[in-house]
A = this chain, B = another copy of it.
């Protein structure tokens, strides 16, 4: 933080010769943070002080708004030079983020090859491996010697996202092997790449889901994963840093959905109040209106319940709440396991059986505790005399049934969602709460009337 303030100060006092070496020695991620604190007019000044490659690297790390503001302040020549320095996948991210007029300006300053590449990548579906891969990798041929391989690596190093995993292709560009820089370094200079390459290559297809690809890469602890087309031709790689971004984004999305809100790519403090409203209101409205079901049930049963005893009514929130908690425990556990790739559709029966057994254990524990609580707390301590042992038993029995039902609903909904090709996370907590609310209320009212009326 102190360093950031120092830079701001030097910039504002126009002590550029002092600022230059300090800024030039900084990491691009830290520089991006400084940029984001600057005023519109200061942005291009700091940008122009930096060495060209560092300026481009810092640019790639900026948030969307700062990027856009800065682009408006740069000359065509400067934009062209940023485009030259940027890795192609960062260029694609930029194109996807910017409004149409900015995109037009960026594309007009990119060379033909870059434009062609951008168009190719943008053709892949938004959630596919193709959309997150880069074509800036190093490919070798199996008949190259290790010395020749190093020659090629050195020549291509500047423009490659990673030089530490090199891919071996045949003469029609089909992926046939890989060799790490480590292996190359440890091998004699005169043997061929074909002799030392690993032919058991793990890869993904351009059309694979980007989350699956990111998970695969990290599960295997790779630094990069090759991406092939349907003919096994190598078309790109996904690097570990991009995989981490994907996982982080998808996790944020999952967590947001579990809390019944849409997620935004923008950090919280930069999200506008209206944006927050827009992200949250749809689910809140749906869930509020779905509360109609519970009020319907209550309207129907209320007088009959009250005729027995008003204390029965006071237990409604506790039963509904416990049901909701049980349901979301089960659903969230299942959803997380699914997104870590530990559970698949065919495991549904195993999960159901496990949840059934767990729910009986949990239900019995809770029902027993509830019975004791009603007698000791509500009856003896607070002195509400409606809590007779029989009524307490009915409440506890309803609780047991509710817990079992909530767990079954909670663990099966994610599977049903997956079957319907919906995102399991969407059906988590709040949606399940609504279903469980209705079911538990019906169980309770019907049980109470059947036994006590």
Contacts and interface: CB of A to CB of B under 8 A. Distances in A.
A11 to B, nearest CB: 19
Contacts of A291: 317-318, 321-322
A156 to B, nearest CB: 11
Please indicate which of the listed interface residues A256, A259, A277, A429 has the most CB atoms of chain B within 10 Å of its own CB.
A259
Given A256-B336, A325-B287, A365-B281, A317 B317 contact: yes
Contact of A299 (B199, B220, B324, B384): B384
A311 interface: yes
A255 B357 contact: no
A373 B369 CA distance: 38
A40 interface: no
A347 B252 CA distance: 20
Contact of A295 (B251, B337, B378): B378
Given A182-B163, A336-B255, A310 B317 contact: no
Interface stretch (A95-103, A118-126, A265-273): A265-273
Contacts of A324: 433
Nearest to A200: B25
Given A164-B164, A268-B354, 7 more contacts: A29-B221, A240-B244, A273-B357, A281-B365, A288-B399, A299-B382, A313-B313
B273 A329 contact: no
Nearest to A24: B200
A281 to B, nearest CB: 6
Query: In the assembly, how many copies of this chain are there?
Result: 2
B325 A283 contact: yes
Given A267-B337, A288-B322, A273 B202 contact: no
A243 to B, nearest CB: 9
Interface in A240-258: 240-241, 244, 247-248, 251-252, 254-256, 258
A343 interface: yes
* Range, interface on chain A: 35 or more
B318 A313 contact: no
B332 A255 contact: yes
A58 B276 CA distance: 47
A259 to B, nearest CB: 4
A247 B248 CA distance: 9
A350 interface: yes
Given A288-B373, A318-B292, A325-B287, A259 B362 contact: no
B280 A347 contact: no
Nearest first, the 6 A-B pairs at minimum CB distance are A291-B318, A259-B332, A295-B314, A298-B314, A221-B241, A268-B337
A277 B157 contact: no
Given A164-B164, A200-B25, A259 B328 contact: yes
Contacts of A399: 288
Interface in A195-238: 199-200, 202, 218-221, 223
Contact of A298 (B218, B268, B313): B313
Interface string A332-363: 11101100101100010011001001100110
A261 B358 contact: no
A289 interface: yes
Contact of A358 (B277, B296, B306): B277
